[in-house]
Amino acid sequence: MTTPLRCLVILGPTATGKTRLAVGLAHRFNGEIVSADSRQLYRGLDLGTGKDLDEYGTVPYHLIDLCEPGDSCHLFRYLELARAALRDIAGRGCLPIVAGGTSLYINALLDEYELAGGAPDAALREELAERSDAELLDLLRAEAPDLYERADKTQRKRILRAVEIARTRTDGVGPEPLPLDPLLLAPYYPRQEVHRRIEQRLDARLAAGLIEEVTVLHEAGASWEWLDDLGLEYRYISRYLRGELTREQMREELFTHIRRFCKSQDIWARKMEREGKTIHWLPGGDLDQATDLVERFLAGQSLPPPQLRLMDTFYGPRSN
């Protein structure tokens, strides 16, 4: 039986300082960071994905800037690369720290997704393209109930990928599973404060050249369709550059949809807690509190219960 690999996992809503917390812990515990952000895999997507590479300083990082814009860096490939990086880091006596905001990627690592279905199949995807999301989900439910239960049903590309895996997994071998022994940490701010931080960060990135970043990507060959498929910053700035939105409309649409993305991350975290995963929420991303938990974790000591659980936190009237 394989001994689970001990690691830290830094998760939580966007704009809450996950990178800062991960870097702080990496400095204190000889750690290396493995990104769990689906868009940071691509070169040139810097401001829009919040790579903040200068924040890492001397801390080694992995799974950033591996793919060219326009390529398809899918979950199957991510798991191969992430598991290899985790084994390598631990094998050198360092502490692996997974950090990022793509909930599907984090769950895939924690739940040991096998995805035995091979790489994306362009011919199959073309065959499925004419079907509606509802039809694709019906197919997935009928052909692979296990994949249907854990699939992200909010994004068409993820639904398509799940169907591809279901159709081809008897012929392929997925990334070798890697059991983990994780400590889950997450910066916590009240929702109103998170929204304020989102708005502040968005305006700072626009001022720093985010529109120019998208322009350069398109001029270098990234299609409007590919940029739109990335969502959020790249989708709405592309629409502005194509003249479909005014700058003010673009900024407001983007702010609205980033808040919605934040809510979806919140929902994922609540689901994880309901499934029995323990997440230690750290008010303001408190590094000293995180350090105390990590020291106990690495020493094999019992940990105190979380100060709060997101699944018990409500932001409005509860429905009966």
10 Å CB burial of residue 134 (0-12, 13-18, 19+) is exposed
Residue whose C-alpha is closest to residue 75's, from 104, 54, 95: 104
d(CA 252, CA 248): 6
- pLDDT at 172 (0 to 100): 47
State the residue for tokens 């709405």.
Answer: 236
The second-level CATH assignment, the architecture, of 117-173 is Orthogonal Bundle (1.10)
Q: 28 Cβ partners below 8 Å, 6+ apart?
A: 291, 294
Domain borders along the chain are 117-173, 191-262
pLDDT in tens, the chain (320 residues): 579 999 999 999 999 999 999 999 999 999 999 999 999 999 999 999 999 999 999 999 999 999 999 887 878 889 999 999 999 999 999 999 999 989 989 999 999 886 555 556 666 777 788 788 988 898 888 777 877 877 778 778 778 878 877 776 644 455 678 999 999 999 999 999 999 999 999 999 999 999 999 999 999 999 999 999 899 999 999 999 999 999 999 999 999 999 999 999 999 999 999 999 999 999 999 999 999 999 999 999 999 999 899 998 875 544 44
> Cβ distance 187 to 21 under 8 Å?
yes
- pLDDT at 173 (0 to 100): 53
* The domains spanning 117-173 and 191-262 adopt the same CATH topology: no
- pLDDT at 135 (0 to 100): 86
pTM for the model: 0.84
d(CA 156, CA 143): 18
- pLDDT at 155 (0 to 100): 78
Q: Fill in the amino acid letter for 304.
A: P
d(CA 25, CA 19): 10
Domain 191-262 has CATH 3.30.110.30: no
Name the token pair of 16: 């809450």
- pLDDT at 7 (0 to 100): 98
Residue whose C-alpha is closest to residue 19's, from 262, 185, 234, 181: 185
d(CA 234, CA 215): 10
